[in-house]
Structure 1
Amino acid sequence: MPKAGGLFVPVRLAFGNAIGLLAGWTDWLSYVAGAAMLAVVSAEFFALLVPAANDHIAITATGVALGSMLLNYFGVKEGAAFQLIGSLLKASFLFAIIAIIFLVEPTKPAAPQSTLTETVEPLGLFAIVAAYQLVYGAFAGWTAPVNFSEEDVNTSRNLPRGLFLSLLTITGVYFLVNASLLSALPVEQMRASELPVAVALENIFGATGGKIVAGGALLLAASCMNSSVMVMPRIIYGLGRDGLFPNVVTKVNRGGTPHVALLCSMALMIALVFTGGFDFLFRLMGALTILILVLYQASLFGLRRKFPNLERPYRARLYPWLPAAVLVLDAVLLVLFVTSDFFGGAVMLGLVAICLPIGHYLARERGKAS
């Protein structure tokens, strides 16, 4: 179904307007929270380069967000060009870091492994869930190409390639980065550092190594944030076009950008920047992401039952057992994510609940029109 709006498109077709709105709204919120988190991360890395900005993280993050908004406001081509260049640069930077840590001998030896034994309390269930939530969030966004399926000239070929090659590439990069760090630093030193890559490069280049990592990390975070900013307006544009959101968000400027949808997205994104730091926003994004994926996975079964003759260019292997196992696993994780962080869960449920009066209003308007 090559149609703008992303994950809510099959959910709406399978379960109707109400659940479709819930899915689209949640998907939109997850990208907004993710973009806000990346804006905060960009500001924190900028503060490593310019220490005076350390006392103004939220203001700096807002400036980064507005810069990305302006870039995408002018048009699709400008935002896409920045994203392509940014992706190439950040991939080059990551592979360069991996090669340097593996191949270059450090001038400063790593801190020796401590021989002291410390008493570690057994991990509780909520601690394990909270840790896994960060892992889940780190891989969030792998479904993003779906949002551009209507703008793609060969969706049935390019979309699965984009999804699978991205997953394989990113998994490989994660593995190589961690392998390089484990070869260069003791585990205790990695555990004590928020930026172990910077520690490894400082052992090789001195203080300059930390600056290199901060600059590269700023590039990575800004590029990732820009991709989220490109996706956000397209989700509520699709909702608006299908009558599940006020029609004003379907306005498109000369550059091809849904500019009203972009402005609405940026307003909420900047508000979230001021509500909490990286950890809160990251967990919020993870919880919202798993909620939309649960709805998305359930739509596979709904569509098979409701539209058995729908064209299906690629197969769901081991259906229904493997997709059902994924659905059950993610549903259990969703409950654990919400209950392990009561404040974050309350914020997530509050944000999701905002769509209820919107849906009620739009349903009433459709009834009047009928």
Structure 2
Amino acid sequence: MVNSKNNQLKKSLGLSFNIAVLIGGTIGVGILRTPGTIAEMLNNYWLIIFSWIFGGLFILIGANSYAELATMLPKAGGSYNYIKRAFGNYAGFLSGWFDYITNAIPPAFYCIVISEYIIILFPALSNYATIIAISLLLAFVVLHLSGVKNGSAIQQITSLLKVICFVALVAACFIYSDLQLPSVEKDNSVFQIGLLFGFFKSLQLIIGTYNGWNSVCFFAEENDDPGKNIPKSLFSGVLLVIAIYVLLNVAFFYVLSVESISKSSLPAADVANIIFGKNGGIIVTVISIFSLISILNAFMMIPPRILYGLSRDGFFIEKGTMVNKGGTPIIALLVSSLFSLFLICIGSFEVLFSFAAFTSIIVWGLAYFSLLKLRVTEPDLPRPYRSVWYPWTAIIAIITSIALLAGFIYSDSKSFIIIVLITIISYPFFLLLNRKRK
């Protein structure tokens, strides 16, 4: 395997990048779209707000565990490093590729959606959607080939603009004075099977919307002080995302009723049309584009780090560890970008995208188990940060992960079957790679 100094990632990233990549890699257009679907399934103001808070608390508890894991093993690729260390090569291989697939699909999706929003602003470009999407992908490939510092700068600028846009939207909703907060509707059907199904489907959407909260951990190896920066950025970034998500939902319900939002495919646009008049849709489109550029930049950086780590451990080609002068894992970036290009051209990645929450929960759950096991088997490993209220927070995270996984299986059995098939098929590939490694 390639282990020369020329193929080491550079320690050029700091706290500001960490917070920016967490916010940029998490907040997307999902929060502008999902409130309508969730309102339709739950139809209860307090249950909807509780669901967003519950999802946020689950992520916050997870951040507590990941802060210890990422500072204990600050390696490129994030979760699979901890799982491999705790449970062996196959567990690392499988979780690494699950994590890679989950994070390699979004760039194609975001390129296509950005092109669609650009066409909304400029209808004359309607015949060029695919060309715009491919051009965006190529532009970001060139940006990241130029080096990590340029990608980091773009991430910090776009994430800041994104936060400003969302805070402004929340403020505009509360400043709007023609309507009062709608009366809270009482719903006694909380324990009905139909609503239970809707609750788990809603949580699946919410977890998907929060997905990206652990983005910081993929870049731990490139951080100039992971022991201090990773815990700070995880907690501050996650708390900021939770605040924006919950406040945005409350703000939407301040302007429109639960019923109105439940009938909307893009609640943010409906709210903006009421507040800003006929320009509301344009404002939301611009916010969406800023939001998507930020998240696209983050997801152009994440998959190559996972692939770099997998390559270094012999779970992908040796050349996957090649790093250019700017600190970019160049082969890993090009392979991931070719995959994105393929998905843009065929446009049939939605089935894969739908089970991102599934694979995320599996990987996160295994990572929480890793924390428990490594505390027992390797108590002397340096731990710059130690999980607060250990082991109870890790146990709560594991139990919640299992409960959510069971709920997702109940509400989305097709995605579960796909994951089982991928797991079965993966083992022969692992054996083949393992033989080559030896």
Specify the TM-score bucket, using the shorter chain as the normaliser: 0.7 to 0.9
In the alignment, which residue of structure 2 is the partner of 1:250?
A: 321
2:143 aligned with 1:71 = yes
Distance 1:160 1:225 in 2: 24
* Residue in structure 1 matching 2:100, options 14, 18, 28: 28
* Residue in structure 2 matching 1:41, options 97, 101, 113: 113
In the alignment, which residue of structure 1 is the partner of 2:288?
A: 217
In the alignment, which residue of structure 1 is the partner of 2:52?
A: none
Deviation at 1:69, TM superposition (A): 2.4
Deviation at 1:210, TM superposition (A): 0.8
Distance 1:270 1:191 in 2: 35
Distance 2:273 2:141 in 1: 34
Deviation at 1:293, TM superposition (A): 0.6
Call closer, same or farther: CA 1:15–1:146 in 2, change over 3 Å.
same
Deviation at 1:124, TM superposition (A): 5.5
In the alignment, which residue of structure 1 is the partner of 2:44?
A: none
* Residue in structure 1 matching 2:367, options 293, 296, 300: 296
In the alignment, which residue of structure 2 is the partner of 1:203?
A: 274
The C-alpha deviation readout for 1:167-210, integer Å capped at 9, x for no partner, is 11111111221222222122222222222222222223322121
In the alignment, which residue of structure 1 is the partner of 2:257?
A: 186
2:378 aligned with 1:307 = yes
Deviation at 1:354, TM superposition (A): 5.5
Q: Which amino acid aligns with 1:2?
A: P
Q: Does structure 1 conserve the Cα–Cα contact (< 8 Å) formed by 2:314 and 2:434?
A: no
Q: Which amino acid aligns with 2:398?
A: L
* Residue in structure 1 matching 2:348, options 275, 279, 284: 275
The C-alpha deviation readout for 1:102-161, integer Å capped at 9, x for no partner, is 22456xx89x99x9xxxxx96254443222100111111111101111111111110000
In the alignment, which residue of structure 1 is the partner of 2:90?
A: 18
* Residue in structure 2 matching 1:87, options 153, 159, 167: 159
* Residue in structure 2 matching 1:161, options 232, 237, 245: 232
Distance 1:61 1:341 in 2: 30
Q: Which amino acid aligns with 2:348?
A: T
The C-alpha deviation readout for 1:64-94, integer Å capped at 9, x for no partner, is 3333223212221221111111001111111
Q: Does structure 2 conserve the Cα–Cα contact (< 8 Å) formed by 1:140 and 1:286?
A: yes
Deviation at 1:222, TM superposition (A): 1.9
The C-alpha deviation readout for 1:38-73, integer Å capped at 9, x for no partner, is 334323433432346667766654443333223212
Deviation at 1:234, TM superposition (A): 0.6
Deviation at 1:5, TM superposition (A): 2.0
In the alignment, which residue of structure 1 is the partner of 2:214?
A: 143
Deviation at 1:341, TM superposition (A): 2.4
Q: Secondary structure at the match of 2:105?
A: helix
Call closer, same or farther: CA 1:208–1:327 in 2, change over 3 Å.
same
Segments of structure 2 that go 5 or more residues without pairing to the other structure are: 1-72, 186-191
Range 193-202 or range 298-307, more displaced: 193-202
% identical aligned pairs: 35
Q: Which amino acid aligns with 2:306?
A: I
Call closer, same or farther: CA 1:335–1:53 in 2, change over 3 Å.
farther
Stretches (4+) displaced over 6 A: none
Segments of structure 1 that go 5 or more residues without pairing to the other structure are: 116-120
Distance 1:226 1:315 in 2: 31
Range 28-37 or range 76-85, more displaced: 28-37
Distance 2:83 2:376 in 1: 13
Q: Which amino acid aligns with 1:325?
A: I
Call closer, same or farther: CA 1:355–1:60 in 2, change over 3 Å.
farther
Q: Which amino acid aligns with 1:10?
A: Y
Distance 1:233 1:354 in 2: 23
Call closer, same or farther: CA 1:2–1:360 in 2, change over 3 Å.
same
* Residue in structure 2 matching 1:341, options 378, 401, 412: 412
Call closer, same or farther: CA 1:185–1:260 in 2, change over 3 Å.
same
2:398 aligned with 1:323 = no
Distance 2:417 2:131 in 1: 26
Q: Which amino acid aligns with 1:7?
A: S
Range 71-80 or range 137-146, more displaced: 71-80
Range 307-316 or range 207-216, more displaced: 307-316
CA RMSD of aligned residues (A): 2.9
Deviation at 1:22, TM superposition (A): 1.3
Deviation at 1:355, TM superposition (A): 4.0
Range 331-340 or range 139-148, more displaced: 331-340
Call closer, same or farther: CA 1:349–1:3 in 2, change over 3 Å.
same
In the alignment, which residue of structure 2 is the partner of 1:118?
A: none
The C-alpha deviation readout for 1:310-331, integer Å capped at 9, x for no partner, is 1222223333333123212212
Distance 2:433 2:155 in 1: 35
Call closer, same or farther: CA 1:70–1:169 in 2, change over 3 Å.
same
Distance 2:99 2:310 in 1: 11
Deviation at 1:231, TM superposition (A): 1.0
User: Could you tell me the TM-score, scaled by structure 2's length?
Assistant: 0.74
Distance 1:56 1:131 in 2: 34
Distance 1:204 1:125 in 2: 34
The C-alpha deviation readout for 1:324-350, integer Å capped at 9, x for no partner, is 232122123224324532433344444
Q: Does structure 1 conserve the Cα–Cα contact (< 8 Å) formed by 2:102 and 2:356?
A: yes
The C-alpha deviation readout for 1:231-265, integer Å capped at 9, x for no partner, is 11011101111222221211122322112111221
